[in-house]
A = this chain, B = another copy of it.
Amino acid sequence: MKNFQLDKRLAKDCLVLGELDISLVLLMNNALLPWFILVPRVTMPDICDLDKDTQLVLYSEINEISNFVKAELDVEKLNVAAIGNIVKQLHVHIVGRKQSDYCWPNVVWGTNQKVCYSDEDVRKLVELLETRLGSIFKRSY
């Protein structure tokens, strides 16, 4: 989408790792758990507002990141959610959870606890994404 601009709050809280066909791949800058956010480059606020083809691409991208988190990042459960009460720009959270994480079994939204990633850890994660997702993932970090 031309003129697409990432929401300022997402840009402040997250690291932009790269992009898939329609979505930017963000990482919430909180190393306490793996928390990815897909931001499809669209203007509609809810997934059901997208046309069918765009929905299918977005769902496929959610699948890719979901499978990646489950297979590679030592989690027990995924939390996948499109909320958007505060940030209006459509974005989909894909959060890897386990019973030992900082806010289990509560949801992550509304929590404040945070440890920023080291640059090295982000680079390792991006390399793993590149290796596992292959050419569909274009890194930008």
Contact = CB atoms under 8 A, between A and B. Distances in A.
Contact of A48 (B45, B66, B85, B97): B66
Contacts of A77: 45-46, 84-85
A78 interface: yes
A59 B63 CA distance: 12
A78 B86 CA distance: 12
Contacts of A66: 46-48
A109 to B, nearest CB: 5
Interface string A39-83: 000000111100000010001001100110010000001111111
Q: How large is the interface on A (under 10, 10 to 19, 20 to 34, 35 or more residues)?
A: 20 to 34
The oligomer's copy count stands at: 2
A79 B79 contact: no
Interface of A: 45-48, 55, 59, 62-63, 66-67, 70, 77-86, 97, 104-107, 109-110
Given A59-B59, A81-B81, A81-B83, 14 more contacts: A46-B80, A47-B66, A47-B78, A48-B63, A48-B66, A48-B78, A77-B84, A77-B85, A78-B82, A79-B81, A106-B109, A107-B107, A107-B110, A110-B110
